[in-house]
Structures are given as C-alpha cells and as structure tokens.
Structure 1
Amino acid sequence: MRAICFTGVLLLGGAVLVTSCAGVEPEEAATVSHQGLAAYQEPDSEVYVVEGDLAFDGASALRAYLERSDTPGLVVGCPEGVIVKWTPSEARDLRYCVSTAFGSRHAAVVSAMNQAAASWEAVANVDFIHASSFDGACSASQTGVIFDVRPVNGASYYARAFFPNAARSARNLLIDSTAFGSIAPYTLAGLLRHELGHVLGFLHEPSATCPAPSNTCPLTDPDPASVMHYPGCGRTVGDLVLSRLDAQAAGFLYP
C-alpha cells in the first residue's frame, strides 16, 4: 500500500484519457485522476487501482467509485440499494490458489493467508479454502478457484485485491515483492486481512482525507481502529487487525 506514481491524466466527461507513467517497473503504467484522486492502471490490463489497493475492473466501474459522498463509518458498495457481496453459498466456498511462482516465499504466503482468513472466518459465516492442487497452475484464467493469489514486481502497492462483483479475470489477490521487506508496523498477515476485507466487499474506512464514494451503505460508526483503514487515509494505529466494529459489520453482512 505504498504511495503511487501519478501523471497528469484526467477523467473528463466520462472518457478516460491515459498516458504512460514514467518510473514504474518493470512495465510502463498509467494513471487517471478525478477530484484529487488518482488511479494506477495495471500493465496490459483494464484493472485500475485507486487509494493504493482498491481494484476496479474497467473505467466505468472506476468512474462510479470516484463520485464521492459524505457517508461515515465502514462501508460496502450498494448501487441502487443492492449490497455488493457474495451469496451465502459462495461465501462458504471461497476457494483460492497460491501460485508456486512465489518460490521460497510460497510457504510464508500460505501461512499469512491462513491467518488472515481465520480472522474473518471467526466473525462471519465465510470460508476461505486453499485449493493447493491448483497452486502450480495458479493464474487469472484458472477456473478451479474463485480467485488466485500471485506475485508481482514493481507495482504501486504492497498488495491489492478485488470486490465480489469482479469478473474472474480480475479476481486476483496480487502481492508485490516489497510486501516481504521491512513494512513495520504491518505484517504480511495484516496486509492480507485488509485485502480479504475487500474480497468480502468492504471498502476503505472513510476519513477526512478519503471520503466515502457514492453508492455505498455504512455498516458502522466511524472507527479509527478498523482493519479497513488505509494508511494513506490517516491510519495511525499498528498492524491491520479486525476491530470490534469490523467483527460486527462482518457478522451482519455474512450472518
């Protein structure tokens, strides 16, 4: 969840105008900006990442998010009053693979995913299942899982995930190599707790610097201890762990 590279690219009249963003390795990338926010476009992809780790599949989804409101507290997307979430049966069968491309870090990622998943499973009726038989062929096109966990290098974030309404090709939990460096006070398990919150449908905890988007529904009062607080939006506490209000919201969303 590092700061990202911005260029002077604008979202104008519903049309996305994109230019390259120098200095992003290993491939050139691009950004779009609107109302003071900017989004990183992943190389060779229609996925845009805003606020460090929120991934949106296509420019239209990004435009919808960037329209802001004054909604307080932990929020979920609810366009036209319909909450973006998994069905009860889907929520109890969230299968994923962890790519063997992590190499010597594979076991650490598997362990951190287990820890992060257990935190959400303890407070909500959800079940994240590591389908290890697919680890050797863990890609965005792997149909045997709901999502894939894969390594990237030179991204604008430590990690990024997706929301329940994403197409399979965009249902990726990507972890940049920098997430394995010195990231205190955060841990890899903490980062993945935050990302799995997005997988379940939670947006970032709104703050004065990062107001809530439109088409969202609040589930809690403002909560500075929320696991869904993004560090770039004023988070000042330690590692990313579920708060009491996070647990209540998760239990409400997935009873």
Structure 2
Amino acid sequence: MRLIRTLAFAATAAAALSIGAVIPASAATSVDDGSAPSFQEFAASTYRDVDGSYIVNGDEVISNRSDLRAFYDVLIGPETRNDGLIVNTVSGIDDKWSDAQVSNLTYCVSTKFGARHADVVNAMASGAALWEAASSKIDFQYVSSADGNCTTRNKSVLFSVEPVQTSQYIARAFFPSTPDRQQNVLIDDSIWSSGSWTPTNILGHELGHVLGFRHEHTRPESGTCFEDTNWRPLTPYDSSSIMHYPQCNGSSDDLSMTSTDVAGVVSLYGN
C-alpha cells in the first residue's frame, strides 16, 4: 500500500524540517502503483551528510549502506498499525539510554559557531530543559571545557554540537543506538530564521531523538509522512507533539512540548 510514496518521502524528507517546506507530492498519500524503486535507486536518491551517513525522515541518521538496506526492507515490508508517543526500537528492543547514562548526557558546543556560539549554548540549554522538566531522570550536561575540540572524536563528552552548511535540514541529531562516530547534533544557520519554530523548540525536537523518540507523524493517525514501524507506542497519538512535523498534518505550528509528550517521557524514563 505504501511503497512508492513512502520511499520517496523517506529519501527526500530531509528538506521537510525547513520552514515553509512542502512535503513532496509523492509523499502525500500511500499509493502502490506497482513500481517500487529498487534499493539502488532509493540509495542514490537519499541525502548523504557531511560525515557520509544517510539522512532519512527529515533529520534521522542511518549510519551506513547496510543499515540503509535494512531500513529500505522495512519500508517495503508488510505495514503494521500501532499507537502512541513513540520510542525507536532496534530488533524490537527500546532504543533508550540506561538509567546511569540518561542522567549524564554530556555535550559540548563547537567554537566554530563563532558569533553565534553563545546563542547555540543558550538554545541547547533551553531545549534540554524541556525534557529535564518532564523527568528528573534526564540530565543534559554542558561541558564548556570541550568546546575548543568539540567533535565526535572528543571522548570527554557523549556528543558534540557542531555547525553545518546545508539546504537539506535545519538541524539533525541521532538515536541512542547510533554509532559513536555519528553521535552529534548538527545545526544550520537557518535555525535563526525559522519563523514560529524557535531555536529552543527545534533543538528540543532534536534532543527528543537523542533520547530515543521518533517522529509522531509516522503513526497511521497522521495520514501522511509514514516512515517505518520500528517503534513502540508510549501514549495516545498527539498531533501537537514536539516530535510531530507541523506540515505532516500536525496541529501545532511551533514544535512546542505537550502534556502528552511529558507523559511519554515519564513512561520511558520515569518521573
């Protein structure tokens, strides 16, 4: 039912996190016209980031071609229906941090942001605070001493926050299961001119991925923008969720956090 248009969305939706961007017409509905692209065609049309990873579903990282093939195979497999604010799963297991790690999510902010460095530091802190306020178990810790060497190779922090120049997304992040070499948050300058999407809420959305949360609009209730079924429900569907793209039949225009989001965080990590 979803072959062509779902695959087209997955490969091209990296642009969907841009303000005013329109979901490709090929992604608007789920229609099987009997001519699904081959994996080679799908791979060739999927955006590759500065570190060689593949970006799918707008701002999600696929580490290598083998993992991209597994992602493709899920997309063209049987469709299943589920409900909830949703956590990513790997082989059916929740993709989440341990209790010890989620209370010590250390990060640095690259000095390569230049004049915007302090702005990024503040936006990261306020974005992290959205999740920290939802659960006392979550603690993002900014390590300023690592800023001068803020890359994924710096082992004094869990992840790095670095600038990128791209027209493919405003920002992108990673999941707990993402390999260490790709555990970074990349931010384009367009974050400062994204209309009603504030830097705080954009980075709050990205840090939701860091915690393991998937895009809410992949659920069938959204009616569009399906991604895959590698997730587990935590709450009822929430079209206003911070993890729901507004342009994917979302009911919020600012990516703000909702009470349902809070309930989902508590369900996964505790109060």
Q: Which of the five TM-score ranges fits, normalised by the shorter chain?
A: 0.7 to 0.9
Distance 1:199 1:44, change over 3 A: closer
State the alpha-carbon separation in 2 of the partners of residues 95 and 236 from structure 1.
33
CA distance in 2, matches of 1:214, 1:229: 16
The runs of 4+ residues in structure 1 deviating greater than 6 Å are none
What is the TM-score with the length of structure 2 in the denominator?
0.78
Which one of 204, 215, 225 corresponds to residue 215 of structure 2? 204
Q: Describe the SS at the equivalent of 1:116.
A: helix
| Uncovered stretches (5+) of structure 1, i.e. residues with no partner | 20-30, 33-39
Work out the CA distance in 1 between the residues paired with 2:228 and 2:41. 19
Alignment-mate amino acid for residue 49 of structure 2: E
Q: Cα deviations across residues 124-166 of structure 1 (Å, max 9, x unaligned)? A: 2110000100001101211111110001112400000000001
After TM superposition, the structure 1 = structure 2 runs for residues 187-198 of structure 1, keeping only pairs within 5 Å, are 187-198=198-209
- Deviation digits for residues 193-249 of structure 1 (CA, Å, limit 9, x no counterpart): 000000000000032112352232111111011100023422241322211111011
Is 2:38 the partner of 1:12?
yes
Query: Partner letter of residue 213 of structure 2?
Result: F
Asked if 1:130 is matched to 2:137, the reply is: no
TM-score by length of 1: 0.83
Give unmatched runs, 5+ long, in structure 2: 1-16, 25-35
Q: Which of residues 173, 182, 186 in structure 2 aligns to 1:170?
A: 182
Which structure shows the bigger proportion of residues in strand conformation? 1
On the 8 A contact 1:70/1:212 being kept in 2, the answer is no
Residue 154 of structure 2 corresponds to 142
Contact 2:134–2:266 under 8 Å retained in 1: yes
Which residue does the alignment assign to 1:157? 169
More helix by share: 2
The count of residues paired between Structure 1 and Structure 2 equals: 231
Please tell me whether the aligned partners of residues 4 and 156 of structure 1 are also in contact (alpha carbons under 8 angstroms).
no
Distance 1:115 1:238, change over 3 A: same
Query: Percentage identity across aligned positions?
Result: 40
AA partner of residue 158 (structure 1): I
CA deviation vs aligned residue, 1:86-105 (integer Å, no higher than 9, x gap): 00001000000000100110
Q: Distance in 2 between matches of 1:5 and 1:153?
A: 21
> Judging changes above 3 Å, is the alpha-carbon distance between structure 1 residues 44 and 91 closer, same or farther for their aligned structure 2 residues?
closer
